[in-house]
């Protein structure tokens, strides 16, 4: 199945006083690869200024802009038309010796960072208590373990916007049991890495299930690497594997590597960011 | 204890020659080494008053020129003058050739190593260096992964600490981030030239004054385009302990000394604010740590660097010397792998030896270290400036016990080495010439096409009797180093 | 050159000039300690403090008390202007600030200039004020002035005439205009109160400004108010006259920003030009005290405006919002 989406992602920064010398990096362009065909992509900024693209250490395309002049508002709008799919189906299990092959594979420069702690994804005493109490442990098969974990987290946590912030540590959702997709993803990644499964954070969008337009937000989930298969997506917030609804934008060790926007300006602190994401699922011709 | 056969005793009267240590001026039989005969003869003719006068002259030279380093003590900032000893240390041409070749080899290998660990990681795959040690090192910068560094020069300026024992020269430490001390080498030379003008000429000492020019051409050779580059030095500001050096080098090279507040990004390139508007910066010799370079990418609370600086670097609009992330190669635990790195990347045997090192991250190393704590020097892997280390034989049982606790709590953070019998050189202390322990920090430059080792270096002295700690922050001083012509 | 560096040079010039100004006034006051009646000294201190823009200090001494009481008080008053670190305009504070400015531009400052500045600072730092005072109060100030002379000489001798020198000089002369205007205004104002006291005579004013000999050559030893003020305001050759300083400022600005010296003028050039015009045209009614005082106060204010315009145009670039330099 191939699904086409029109995505419009607007970010508007409002500054309490005039800001100068804004510098920003953006991760807002859908990944171009075998399963994602990006038909169109554009970024418009207001005020208008030059924009530079770059490829980061994880292979993501990011954008950079600097705006030295004084401004009260800075708006970025990214529009894309992307076709997702067809996706290969994943096997039910990996089979004998999978843990051992994983252990060997993670000794590579590419996978090493995805099995080791990063800023938001690391083993904490709270996570230890959480997994003990819920009896969450790895099973015989890495793929099955990951799939089960995805379901368990979905059951255990309650989706509650506003409970956590973008820079909340995983202990927050572990305490309250409430959080958003990013928290789900960080917890899942922390547990999987603890088990020795390479796991990376995915930043992207979740398209609507039916044709039409949906107002939504950015989305986040994880991808695990398995020998012989490669990266497989798991979305603990929705208890699914990565499917045609998942539009990938960037991957990293955790949120800190690939926030949709990150920047700095000169001026009084306390800027406000308004974000709007509109995704239209286009009917098949 | 054998006494020296100095001409007629004089200021050398109480010089005790301890056979446990290599002496830079005297051979084991108490006679001056051939290269030191003239210096020894000249010094022996002086009396304590002459030397005091010379020493005072050197001190005044430093005081008036304000050649100081800043010491932050709790919340007060004081400027101190680095103590300069007026007796030069002599290195023969033959010894220097070996050091020079060894340093060039070492830096070439470390640059190849850095390129490798930030790209395909061959040496990690081939298990020359443990992958955990490199990728798990706090100085490893993921942002540098896959990034094309101009001319593959990660380290353009390097300061290597070398010690001499009875077994010869050995490298104690590589400084590949922001090595300092070169200005003291130059200032020291000027002061000593004033003090011993004739003696200096008679020795045919190799000049070090060209350093600034060499540094400039090294930096300029890394420029992104063929145009005349705008080179600048980035300093954290006048309260930094090495500010004198930053200002000195900027002055000598005739380049701007910029602070973070002077820099701004425009059109993806780094610019400096001038009286006539923005001016693009092409090459930045940065003297601030990686963490502070760019608040967008690294530490968000930093005001020392410039927002977006890393983008300019990544886009190839700016050259940074040294590149971010070089600290992974001068980490004290990586140090013990440098000989293997030299063999792997250059297929050569190391010319300069390493000091025997035990990695506490390895169970054997930890066990050995804990067992022999009273014989070893233990250092933090990321430490510098002689802080946070334990000199086993000089520490009290209580200090050792406390240190052992820290060791057990976080073994990977420590390494240990035997207490080195650092060579000793004559120093004028308290009215007489006495031996003191010394080390040596030569400076190596790596440009686009060539390497250069300055024929000289910062010779650090542990001025406290018996002390082995040469850091200026810990009661160390320095002296001029005379590398002789062939 | 770097905008920040330009500002450091500029402030270096200002701080050095400020020391000189304070030292000159102190010298005026201290040389009279031995000979003047207490009352007159008192008035002198008030004038000095007003000229320097320092908050007035309540003096314990009055005319009836013995001289012995006045001297320790003078010690406090002078000490506040010389060695008091909490007073940012004291000689020691200014020297410290000047050295700090120099420290921040070490890379661009010729070694001999730096050494001179540093030695001056070390001298002032290590001088024990109470001992120096006990020996010879005036000698202390004289040495300060000599050291400033030496600094000026080294600057004159070794500094290339590039932007670093221009900003240094610009700072000096901007400070000079501002302070000279304040000096003239205050002198006129005090004169209005009491001119009978010989201390604040027009001749003394000329001496403070190092213009007494020039005046005598041009006019006579009998100093007239109109001629004295005219000389200090309009003379094109006298280094401490307003006109002389303003001419230097114009030249320096033209060197720093040749484009801004042509029409349309850059804001600092415009301010400087207006100031010069005001000073050049004989301000009518200088003989009326209030008119003269208003005039000099307005010059003092315009000098502040000039300072802000210079900073905005070459350092902070703030008013041209959007036109990030």
- The answer to whether the Cβ–Cβ distance between B247 and C163 falls below 8 Å is no
What pLDDT is recorded for position C319?
40
CB atoms within 10 A of CB C119: 18
Q: Specify the pLDDT at position C70.
A: 47
Q: What is the DSSP letter of A88?
A: P
* Phi and psi angles of residue C250, each rounded to the nearest 5 degrees, phi first: -60, -45
Express as a percent the part of chain C with pLDDT over 90. 51
Assign C322 a pLDDT band (cuts: 50, 70, 90).
very low
To the nearest whole Å, the CA of A71 is away from the closest chain C CA by 8
Closest to B170 (Cα-Cα) out of B225, B244, B102, B119: B102
CB-based contact A23 B308, cutoff 8 Å: yes
| C4, C103, C167 ranked by CB distance to B261: nearest | C4
Task: Tell me the chain C residues in contact with residue A68 when contact means C-beta distances shorter than 8 Å.
Answer: 324
Q: In what helix (H) or strand (E) does residue A75 lie, and over which residues does it extend?
A: strand A71-84
**Secondary structure letter of residue B445 according to DSSP:** E
Of C6, C115, C325, the CB nearest to B277: C325
Query: Residue B295: closest CA among chain A residues belongs to which residue?
Result: A264
Most B CBs within 10 Å, among C100, C104, C106, to test the B interface = C106
Whether pLDDT at B91 is above 50: yes
Q: pTM (2 decimals)?
A: 0.89
Kind and range of the H or E element at C30? helix C3-30
Q: Is C197 a residue whose pLDDT tops 70?
A: no
Q: Is B264 a residue whose pLDDT tops 90?
A: yes
Confidence label for B2 from pLDDT (cuts 50, 70 and 90): low
For B6-56, the pLDDT digits (tens) are: 544 578 888 889 999 999 999 999 999 999 999 999 998 999 999 999 999
Question: Measured between beta carbons, which residues in chain A are less than 8 angstroms from residue B143?
Answer: 56-57
What pLDDT, on the 0 to 100 scale, is given for residue C38? Answer: 76
Strand, coil or helix: A235: strand
Interface check A66 vs C, CB under 8 A: no
Write out chain A residues lying below 8 Å of B131, CB-based: 107, 109, 112
Which of C317, C318, C319, C324 is the best residue to mutate to test the A interface, defined by the most A CB atoms within 10 Å of its own CB? C324
Task: For residues B246 and B350, give the distance between their C-alpha atoms in angstroms, rounded to a whole number.
Answer: 33
Q: Does B272 touch chain C (CB under 8 A)?
A: yes
pLDDT classification of C66: cutoffs 50, 70, 90: very low
CA distances from B370 to B18, B188, B373, B407 (A): 29, 41, 5, 8
Which residues in chain A show pLDDT less than 70?
Answer: 284-285
Closest residue in chain C to residue B253, using alpha carbons only: C107
- Our separate counts of H helices and E strands in chain B read 14, 23
pLDDT of residue B373: 92
User: How far is residue B149's CA from residue B152's CA, in Å, rounded to a whole number?
Assistant: 5
CA A207 to chain centre: 14
Environment class of residue B5 by beta-carbon count within 10 Å: exposed (0-12), middle (13-18) or buried (19+)? Answer: middle
The tens digit of pLDDT for each residue in C210-235 reads: 999 999 998 888 888 888 899 999 99
Suggest the residue from A56, A58, A64 to mutate for an interface test with chain B (most B CBs closer than 10 A): A64
- pLDDT for C57 equals 61
Cβ atoms of B211 and B218 closer than 8 Å: no
Which residue in B65, B272, B273 is closest to C115 by CB distance?
B65
pLDDT of residue C69: 43
Q: Residue B204 pLDDT > 80, yes or no?
A: yes
Q: Does C321 touch chain A if contact means CB atoms closer than 8 Å?
A: yes
Residue C194: is its pLDDT beyond 60? no
| pLDDT higher than threshold 50 for residue B383 | yes
pLDDT classification of C65: cutoffs 50, 70, 90: very low
Tokens of A184: 């789900």
Q: What pLDDT is stored for residue C77 in this prediction? A: 85
Q: What b/e sequence results for C83-116 when a residue is b if at least 16 CB atoms lie within 10 Å of its CB, and e otherwise?
A: bbeebebbbbbbbbbbbebbbbbbbbbbeebbbb
Nearest CB neighbour to C3, from listed B65, B243, B273 = B273
For chain B, what percent of residues have pLDDT higher than 90? 73
Q: Contact B113/B460 with Cβ under 8 angstroms?
A: no
Residues 6+ apart with CB under 8 A from A245: A3, A84, A206, A207, A208, A209
Please state the rounded mean pLDDT for residues B373-399. Answer: 84
Read off the pLDDT of each residue in C69-84 and give the average, rounded to a whole number: 75
pLDDT at B454 over 70: yes
Under the banding of pLDDT at 50, 70 and 90, the label for residue C31 is: confident
pLDDT at C285: 67
pLDDT band at B72 (very low <50, low <70, confident <90, very high): low
At which residue do the structure tokens 């007494």 appear?
C212
Residue numbers in A near C322 (CB within 8 A): 69-70
SS3 A35: coil
pLDDT score of B9: 59
Order of strands, sheet of B283-286, starting from the edge strand that comes earlier in the sequence? B256-258, B231-234, B283-286, B319-321
Q: Do B267 and A66 touch (CB under 8 A)?
A: yes
Higher pLDDT, B467 or C277: C277
Lowest mean pLDDT among B348-362, B444-458, C279-293: C279-293
C7-17 per-position pLDDT tens digit: 999 999 999 99
Question: For the ranges B267-276, C17-26, C131-140, which has the lowest average pLDDT?
Answer: C131-140
CB pairs under 8 A between A and B: 71
Does residue B146 carry a pLDDT above 80? Answer: yes
Give B104: exposed, middle or buried? Use CB within 10 Å, 0-12, 13-18, 19+: middle
Please determine, for residue B322, whether its predicted confidence score (pLDDT) is greater than 70: yes
- Give the pLDDT of residue B255: 94
- Inter-chain CB pairs, A–C, below 8 Å: 11
pLDDT > 70? residue B403: yes
Q: How confident is the model at residue B385 (pLDDT cuts 50, 70, 90)?
A: low
Distance from CA of B60 to the nearest CA of C (A): 11
């Amino acid at each position: 199945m191939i699904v086409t989406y029109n995505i419009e992602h607007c970010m508007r920064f409002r500054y309490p006083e005039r800001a100068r010398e804004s510098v920003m990096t953006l991760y807002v362009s859908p990944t171009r690869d075998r399963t994602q065909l990006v038909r169109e992509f554009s970024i418009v900024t207001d005020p208008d200024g030059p924009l530079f693209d770059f490829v980061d250490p994880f292979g993501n395309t990011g954008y950079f802009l600097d705006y030295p002049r004084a401004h009260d508002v800075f708006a970025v709008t990214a529009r894309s038309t992307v076709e997702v799919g067809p996706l290969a189906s994943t096997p039910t299990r990996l089979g004998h010796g999978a843990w051992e092959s994983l252990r060997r594979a993670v000794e590579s420069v590419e996978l090493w960072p995805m099995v080791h702690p990063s800023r938001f994804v690391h083993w904490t005493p709270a996570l230890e208590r959480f997994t003990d109490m819920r009896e969450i442990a790895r099973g015989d098969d890495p793929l099955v373990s990951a799939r089960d974990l995805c379901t368990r987290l979905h059951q255990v946590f309650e989706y509650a916007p506003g409970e956590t912030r973008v820079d909340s540590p995983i202990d927050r959702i572990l305490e309250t049991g409430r959080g958003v997709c990013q928290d789900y993803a960080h917890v899942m990644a922390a547990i999987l890495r603890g088990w020795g499964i390479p796991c990376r954070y995915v930043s992207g969008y979740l398209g609507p299930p039916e044709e039409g337009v949906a107002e939504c937000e950015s989305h986040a989930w994880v991808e695990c690497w398995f020998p012989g298969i490669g990266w497989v997506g798991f979305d603990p917030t929705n208890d699914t594997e990565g499917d045609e609804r998942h539009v990938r934008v960037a991957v990293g060790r955790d949120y800190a590597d690939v926030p949709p926007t990150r920047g700095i300006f000169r001026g009084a602190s306390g800027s406000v960011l308004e974000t709007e994401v509109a995704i239209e699922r286009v009917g098949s011709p | 204890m054998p006494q020296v056969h100095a001409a007629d005793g004089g200021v050398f009267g109480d010089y005790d020659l301890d056979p446990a240590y290599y002496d830079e001026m005297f051979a084991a039989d108490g006679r001056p080494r051939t290269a030191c005969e003239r210096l020894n003869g000249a010094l022996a003719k002086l009396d304590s008053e002459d030397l005091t006068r010379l020493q005072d002259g050197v001190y005044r030279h430093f005081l008036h020129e304000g050649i100081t380093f800043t010491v932050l003590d709790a919340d007060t900032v004081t400027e101190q003058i680095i103590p300069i000893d007026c007796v030069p240390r002599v290195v023969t041409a033959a010894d220097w050739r070996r050091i020079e070749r060894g340093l060039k080899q070492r830096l070439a290998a470390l640059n190849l190593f850095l390129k490798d660990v930030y790209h395909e990681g061959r040496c990690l795959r081939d298990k020359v260096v443990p992958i955990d040690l490199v990728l798990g090192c706090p100085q490893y910068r993921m942002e540098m992964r896959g990034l094309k560094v101009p001319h593959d020069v990660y380290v353009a300026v390097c300061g290597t600490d070398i010690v001499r024992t009875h077994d010869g020269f050995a490298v104690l430490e590589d400084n590949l981030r922001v090595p300092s001390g070169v200005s003291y080498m130059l200032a020291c030379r000027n002061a000593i030239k004033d003090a011993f003008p004739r003696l200096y000429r008679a020795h045919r000492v190799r000049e070090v004054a060209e350093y600034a020019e060499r540094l400039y051409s090294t930096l300029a050779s890394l420029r992104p385009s063929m145009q005349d580059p705008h080179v600048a030095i980035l300093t954290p500001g006048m309260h930094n302990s090495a500010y004198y050096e930053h200002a000195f080098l900027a002055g000598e090279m005739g380049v701007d000394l910029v602070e973070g507040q002077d820099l701004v990004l425009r059109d993806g390139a780094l610019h400096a604010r001038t009286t006539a508007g923005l001016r693009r910066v092409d090459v930045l010799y940065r003297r601030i740590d990686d963490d502070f370079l760019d608040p967008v990418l690294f530490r968000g609370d930093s005001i020392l660097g410039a927002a977006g600086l890393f983008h300019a670097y990544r886009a190839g609009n700016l050259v940074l010397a040294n590149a971010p992330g070089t600290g992974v190669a001068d980490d004290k635990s990586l140090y013990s792998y440098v000989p293997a790195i030299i063999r792997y990347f250059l297929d050569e045997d190391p010319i300069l030896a390493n000091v025997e090192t035990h990695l506490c991250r390895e169970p054997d190393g930890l066990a050995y270290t804990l067992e022999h704590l009273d014989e070893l020097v233990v250092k933090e892997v990321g430490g510098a400036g002689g802080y946070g280390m334990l000199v086993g034989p000089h520490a009290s049982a209580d200090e050792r016990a406390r240190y052992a606790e820290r060791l057990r709590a976080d073994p990977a953070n420590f390494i240990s080495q035997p207490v080195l019998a650092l060579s000793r050189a004559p120093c004028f202390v308290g009215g007489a010439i006495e031996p003191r322990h010394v080390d040596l920090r030569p400076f190596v430059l790596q440009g686009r096409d060539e390497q250069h080792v300055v024929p000289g270096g910062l010779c650090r002295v542990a001025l406290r009797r018996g002390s082995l700690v040469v850091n200026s922050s810990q009661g160390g001083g320095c002296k001029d180093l005379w590398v002789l012509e062939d | 050159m770097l905008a920040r560096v330009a500002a450091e040079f500029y402030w270096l010039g200002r701080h050095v000039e400020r020391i000189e100004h304070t030292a000159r006034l102190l010298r005026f006051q201290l040389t009279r300690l031995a000979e003047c009646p207490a009352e007159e000294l008192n008035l002198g201190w008030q004038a000095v403090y007003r000229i320097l823009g320092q908050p007035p200090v309540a003096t314990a001494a009055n005319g009836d008390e013995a001289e012995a009481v006045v001297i320790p008080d003078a010690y406090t008053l002078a000490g506040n202007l010389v060695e008091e670190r909490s007073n940012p305009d004291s000689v020691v504070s200014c020297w410290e600030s000047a050295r700090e400015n120099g420290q921040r531009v070490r890379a661009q400052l010729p070694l001999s200039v730096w050494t001179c500045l540093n030695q001056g600072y070390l001298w002032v730092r290590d001088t024990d004020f109470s001992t120096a005072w006990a020996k010879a109060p005036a000698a202390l100030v004289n040495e300060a002035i000599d050291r400033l002379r030496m600094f000026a000489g080294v600057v004159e001798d070794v500094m290339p005439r590039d932007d670093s020198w221009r900003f240094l000089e610009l700072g000096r002369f901007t400070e000079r205009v501002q302070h000279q205007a304040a000096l003239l205004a205050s002198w006129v104002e005090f004169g209005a109160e009491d001119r009978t006291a010989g201390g604040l005579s027009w001749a003394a004013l000329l001496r403070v400004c190092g213009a007494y000999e020039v005046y005598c050559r041009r006019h006579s030893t009998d100093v007239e108010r109109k001629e004295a003020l005219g000389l200090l305001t309009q003379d094109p050759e006298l280094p401490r006259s307003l006109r002389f300083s303003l001419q230097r400022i114009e030249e320096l600005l033209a060197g720093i920003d040749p484009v801004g010296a042509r029409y349309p003028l850059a804001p600092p050039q415009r301010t400087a030009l207006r100031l010069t015009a005001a000073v050049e045209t004989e301000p009518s009614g200088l003989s009326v005290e209030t008119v003269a005082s208003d005039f000099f106060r307005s010059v003092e204010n315009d000098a502040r405006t000039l300072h802000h315009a210079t900073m905005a145009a070459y350092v902070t670039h703030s008013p041209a919002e959007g036109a990030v330099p």
